[in-house]
Amino acid sequence: MNFLSTFVTFKSLHEVWRLCHWGPVIALSVIAICSTMAMLDSIIWYWPLDTTGGSINFIMLLNWTVLILYNYFNAMFVGPGYIPLGWKPENQHDIQYLQYCRVCQGYKAPRSHHCRKCNRCVMKMDHHCPWINNCCGHVNHAYFTSFLLLAPLGCLHAAIIFVMTMYTQLYERISFGWSTVKIDMSAVRQFQPLMPFSMPAFAATLFALGLALGTTIAVGMLFFIQMKVILRNKTSIESWIEEKAKDRIQHYQTGEEFIFPYDLGTRFLNFKQVFTWSGTPKGDGIEWPVHPKCHQHTLTIEQLKQKADKRVRSQVQYRAVEDYNGACCPLGKGVQTFFRTPCTEEPRIPLSKGDTILATRGTKWWMYGDKVLNEDQMIAGERIRGWFPRRCVEKCHYDTASSESTSDKKLN
């Protein structure tokens, strides 16, 4: 157990159950298939271990696999870091600048957000990643980003092995109509393969090549997206908050100047906030170094302004005219509703005829919003929000003043 703890850290056996989710199952399956096939192709058909180059190649493949799994499991089991339940700032005066989380029964520290999947307020939350079945946040941001870098590099190496294996084993068997082209393959024919390159072997190699190339492109793009925000000392959520701040200022013509408070001025300083030699990010996840013109609550004050603005501009009241059971892809709500379901892990909310919903956003076929609850549910701190088919609701015609009163009561 001590040996394992040097590689992967998890606080309790409950954390192991994070593996029982479609995201880790698919991710680990891709890693296993690509690494196993690359090693088998190298040893059996392409570059045997009794050569210097083959040995180095095999060690590199093992190295990629170990590094990828090390960062993957640490991103999953170390976790993002959570705000303590019932947390309050030391200075009670600062409470006015913070949002209160009813689920965690405490205040949200600067840069923290509540994750409905983890059911906790996460330090410097970037997003909830289904592939690690955990949030990416303050503590595991470096592990997660390192995984996004190493996975494409390892898959690119494996893809080269797959291509060269098929090329060296099939060049004599397949005619491309190039009768005048003669390729000298004597260099790669200096050894006898351990077994024939059969059709199943070709199919497995071709399948692994598709996985490797797809992973290289998809995960590589995610790496560049992450590095873009890290070099500005932001998270994906904070980038969105900054965009909304500019939109709010432009809409109301307030003349304010919004300065993102956590950008330290240079990419290198921002980079060092996440990546350190010890592997532990700087800071305690609650207080942060800020721009000279800002303070600890610059961003939280902007969030409160946006929340108030959202009540005025975004929420429209709808009434349910059809029952909806909360299915992800409802069969009885039309073909377009079925195929255009939002590609997100955000919940769907069941509706009964007559329910009232405050919608905040939507697409042509789906809407997202909060269900208006009764007084007992509101006192208990319940909140039901999620997606529902647009065809199940109709816009209410109601008095604006009473609407704003209802909305304030719901969200305060």
What whole-number distance in Å separates Cα of residue 88 and Cα of residue 104?
11
List, in sequence order, every residue forming a beta bridge with 106; answer none if it has no partner: 101
Q: How far is CA 212 from CA 24, 75, 103, 118, in A?
A: 17, 21, 41, 30
What whole-number distance in Å separates Cα of residue 222 and Cα of residue 132?
14
Answer yes or no: are the C-beta atoms of 211 and 34 closer than 8 Å: yes
What whole-number distance in Å separates Cα of residue 386 and Cα of residue 371?
9
What whole-number distance in Å separates Cα of residue 36 and Cα of residue 158?
10
What whole-number distance in Å separates Cα of residue 364 and Cα of residue 152?
35
Among 129, 135, 155, 392, the active-site one is 129
List, in sequence order, every residue forming a beta bridge with 115; answer none if it has no partner: 120
- DSSP 8-state class, residue 186: T
**Strand bridging mode 127-129 / 120-122:** unpaired
Query: Is 155 designated active site?
Result: no
Q: What angle do CA 313, 229, 363 make, to 5 degrees?
A: 35
Q: Note the helical H segments in 290-354.
A: 298-313, 335-339
Position 211, amino acid = L
Whose tokens are 């059969």? That residue is 198
What whole-number distance in Å separates Cα of residue 387 and Cα of residue 202?
44
User: What is the radius of gyration, based on Cα positions, of the chain?
Assistant: 27
List, in sequence order, every residue forming a beta bridge with 72; answer none if it has no partner: none
Q: Report the helix count and the strand count for the chain, using DSSP H and E.
A: 11, 11
How many other CB atoms are there within 10 angstroms of residue 58's CB atom?
17
How many other CB atoms are there within 10 angstroms of residue 115's CB atom?
19
- For the annotated catalytic residues, the residue numbers are 129
